[in-house]
Chain A
C-alpha cells in the first residue's frame, strides 16, 4: 500500500518535472553557421556540373558506346556466317541435283 503510494508520488513528481522549464538557447555561432550553409548550398547549385560529375558522365557514355559497338559487331559476324552457310547449302544442292521442285513448278509441269 505504502509502496503504491510512493510510486504514485514519483509519477506525479515526474509529470511535474518540466514545470518552470526555461527555453534552451542556441550558441553564438548559430547565425554565422546558417549563413555558411546557405552559401555552400548556393555554391552547390552553381557547381552542378563539377569535374567529377563530368568524368562519371563521360565514363558512362563510353561504356554505353562500347556495348553498342559490341552488339553491332556480333550481329555483323553472325550475319556473315549465315550467308556463308546459305551459299554452301546452295552449292551442295546444285552439285548433287537435290533441288526440290515447289508446288507451283509441279503444277506447271502437269
Chain B
C-alpha cells in the first residue's frame, strides 16, 4: 500500500493507474457528500465526477497544506454549493420553464422528499422531512451538519475541510440543530 505522498507524486505525473486508485478510494465518500447536499442521484454523480476532473486538472496546485482527502472534500462541498446556487437562480425562472415544459415534472419539487439510500427503512419518512429542512439552513451550517451527520466526519476533519477552527464547527452544528428544531416544530405544528 503506497503512502499518500507517493500517490500525489504519481498523480502529478498523470499516471492513470494512480488516478484510478484515487477514484476507487474516494468515490463513495465524495458521491455521498454531494448527495447530502443535492438530494438527487444524477446531480450527485455528475458533481462527484466534476470533482475528480478538477482533481485531475489541478493536482499540480495541491500544496500538501491539508490531506488529499480533505482537499477533495473541499472541492466537493464547493461544487455542490455552486450547483445549489445555480439551481436557485434557475428556480426564479421556473414559472416560465413550467409554461414551456408543460406536463414535465419539476425536478426541484421532485427533490422535496428526498430519501437517502443509506437511511434505515423506519426512518425514511422523517429523514426526508429533515433533509428538506436542512436545505433551509445557511451554507456554513448546512455544510457542517451534512459533513457530520451524513458523511460522519469528526469536528476536526470538518474544520480542515471548511478551513476554520474546531470551536467554530461546534458552534455551527449547535446553531444548525437549534434552527432545525425550530423549523421542525413549526412544520409539525402546522401539520397537526
Question: Count of chain A residues with Cβ under 8 Å from any Cβ of B?
Answer: 27
Q: Interface size class for chain B?
A: 35 or more
Known: A21-B116, A21-B118. A15 touches B27 (CB 8 A): no
Q: Which residue of B is nearest A23, CB measured?
A: B32
Interface residue A18 (Cβ < 8 Å from any Cβ of B):
yes
Let me know if A31 and B24 touch, CB within 8 A: yes
Name A13's contact: one of B52, B126, B185 (CB within 8 Å).
B126
What does DSSP make chain B's interface, helix, strand, loop or mixed?
A: helix
Chain A residues with CB under 8 Å of B62's CB are none
Let me know if B185 and A11 touch, CB within 8 A: yes
Interface residue B84 (Cβ < 8 Å from any Cβ of A):
no
CA–CA, A23 and B29, complex, Å: 7
Known: A25-B28, A31-B20. A20 touches B120 (CB 8 A): yes
Residues of A that sit less than 8 Å from B by CB: 3, 6-8, 10-11, 13-15, 17-27, 30-31, 33-34, 37-38, 41
Residues of B that sit less than 8 Å from A by CB: 20, 23-24, 27-29, 31-32, 35, 44-45, 48-49, 52-53, 56, 116-120, 123, 126-127, 129-130, 149-152, 177, 180-181, 184-185, 188-189, 192
